[in-house]
Structure 1
Amino acid sequence: MSKLAINRNILILHFTVLIWGFTGVLGELISVSAMHLVWYRVLIAAISLWVYFLIAKKPILVSKSQLIQYLAVGMLVGLHWVLFFHAIKISTVSVTLVTLSSVTLFTAILEPVINRKKISIADILIGLVIIFGIYLIFKFEFQYFWGIVYGLSCAFCASIFSIFNARMVKKGSPTSITFYEMIGAWIGVSMIMLISGQFDEQMILSQSDLMYLLVLGVGCTAIAYVLGVAVMRELSAFTVALTTNMEPVYGIILALLIFGQKEAMSTGFYFGAIIVLVAVFIYPYLKTKLKF
């Protein structure tokens, strides 16, 4: 693949990550619980993609083995989003987005294991720096302990499904993968809600919640997710995870602009966040220049 094509894919990925950064803001604006929010989000996304298949007259059927894989990974995606939005609701957008950056650390460890590759020393070094940055965030923002824990759990799930998406997209259509993963996420969340008795009056949406959910489901999920999965055909899972670490930068800026003082954090938090983000930017140098 040419350098121009690589740069184009990275640019598309950055645009996608910018949209994903806005999901944190929407999660704060939407009043329903994280579980209900994700239930509506993936349902809207699945319907949007189904309409796209009808209008474009593209084949929607996949093989039985692909269907099982897509639905299973989709359930993991649903869990990831429930953890993500719950972390936002019990802490802040900024705390959740920075802890989500640990997806780089998890991917550095899990990708070689899942894909049976040699673990890179550079990946481990970057992972250690990220651990230190997250430790500082824990230390200075301990009141958000559970928000940080849920954020880290969310990042762990994101790492796993990113690795599997990178593998599946080489043989399947990004749109089909996204469509069935949204269905899988909806099935998974519906099962949890059914077992826990969460199909209740909270399912009724206000006008503002409905508007925000449509933006979240169509723009930030159906469209953005298809774009994100598509570039995985040409970019490695770790490159995708690395670029995804720009999500907290975009998200924190948007949150500060929209929510103002509510999103202001301690100096220690920003110091830890800077360490995490600096690790992201020095990684390409370690990987390409030092070659280890």
Structure 2
Amino acid sequence: MLSDKLKSYLHLHVIVFIWGFTAVLGALITLDAIPLVWYRMLLATGFIFLYLLWKKKNLKVQRSKLFLLIIAGMVIALHWLTFFGAIKVSNVSITLALLSTGAFFTSILEPVFYKRKLVGYEVVFGVIVMLGLYIIFRVETDYYLGILLGLISAFLSAVFTLMNGKLIKHAAPSVISFYELLTGVAAISLYLLYLTWTTSGERGFNLEFFRLSQMDWFYILLLASVCTAYAFIAAVAVMKHLSPYTVMLTINLEPVYGILLAFLIFGSKEQMHPQFYYGAAIILATVVLNGYLKTKRKIYKIS
């Protein structure tokens, strides 16, 4: 019989595989980034709300943390808008390769958020990551906009991760996620209402906005339920049995899973210049090594 630790480890790989599939779904859905993210956040908010009711979770949060929750929700919305925007103007491989720099941005921003000194090797890793990015920029000249949006998305993912690190001390992760998604969809709704009013219905909320194909509905429901609500809740559950280092190392496989899936589904459309993979490998290896050294330092301090 499998131990709880092994079950959690296998479950974590399933979750990371699902996260990798998120980018593929973004490419399969024919909607532009804004309506895609609006539907995702709206439906995911509903699914998590049902989960909270089922678990009879207390939805109350501290008033002093509401402002931070609102900002975090808007950051998440912008992260997903730039993430799916990058997929739409480039492809899955470019977007996921750039998204892997999020862990590097996190290590650089941590001293600002948690008021600690910048570690020397992180500066060196920063230079190495820049080298990997330079290789990608140099060979994939047709995807500059996608690369730029991917980098912005990675930076925003680091920002909301660090914000959640502060919020997690004051509320349950599922409650935090509910309010952040709710805030994000509210912010996008206000923007769409503004577009509807200023363009006399030519953009924003109109009949075309709500006219989705059956396949788009299927993919969006899959994205909101399995890839968002379920994956988030399950990821929190496996952390009860796994070390932070194991979780971090496994999550870094997300771009690998996603790129492989994209290549299997989209074929030659996802085939990149060989040097692209060299650059992506440099970035990914640096992120993994950075995570290993950070975890080792923490273990040493505790002991």
TM-score by length of 2: 0.85
Alpha-carbon distance in structure 2 between the residues aligned to 1:96 and 1:122: 26
Alpha-carbon distance in structure 2 between the residues aligned to 1:213 and 1:228: 20
Alpha-carbon distance in structure 1 between the residues aligned to 2:24 and 2:279: 21
* Count of residues in Structure 1 that have an aligned counterpart in Structure 2: 287
Q: What's the counterpart of residue 286 of structure 2? A: 279
Give deviations 1:7-46, integer Å, cap 9, x for gaps: 9877665543322111100000000110000000010011
1:132 is the counterpart of 2:131 = yes
Deviation at 1:192, TM superposition (A): 2.3
Verify the 8 A CA contact 2:98 2:147 in the aligned structure 1: yes
For 2:209, what is the secondary structure of its paired residue?
Answer: helix
Verify the 8 A CA contact 2:252 2:288 in the aligned structure 1: no
Q: What's the counterpart of residue 113 of structure 2? A: 114
1:98 is the counterpart of 2:97 = yes
Deviation at 1:277, TM superposition (A): 1.7
Structure 2, unaligned runs of 5 or more: 197-203
Using a 3 Å threshold, how does the CA distance of structure 1 residues 285 and 49 change in structure 2: closer, same or farther? closer
Deviation at 1:239, TM superposition (A): 8.7
Structure 2 residue corresponding to 1:269, chosen from 256, 276, 280:
276
Using a 3 Å threshold, how does the CA distance of structure 1 residues 203 and 135 change in structure 2: closer, same or farther? farther
Alpha-carbon distance in structure 2 between the residues aligned to 1:54 and 1:167: 25
Structure 1, unaligned runs of 5 or more: none
Q: For the aligned residues, what is the CA RMSD? A: 2.8
Structure 1 residue corresponding to 2:221, chosen from 201, 214, 224:
214
1:155 is the counterpart of 2:157 = no
Give deviations 1:45-89, integer Å, cap 9, x for gaps: 111111122223322232323333223211110110000001000
Alpha-carbon distance in structure 1 between the residues aligned to 2:239 and 2:126: 22
Verify the 8 A CA contact 1:166 1:232 in the aligned structure 2: no
Using a 3 Å threshold, how does the CA distance of structure 1 residues 259 and 203 change in structure 2: closer, same or farther? same
Deviation at 1:240, TM superposition (A): 6.8
Alpha-carbon distance in structure 2 between the residues aligned to 1:134 and 1:100: 11
Verify the 8 A CA contact 2:61 2:170 in the aligned structure 1: no
Give deviations 1:107-155, integer Å, cap 9, x for gaps: 1211111110111122222222111111110110010000000000001
TM-score by length of 1: 0.88
Segment drifting more, 206-215 vs 127-136: 127-136
- Rg larger in structure: 2
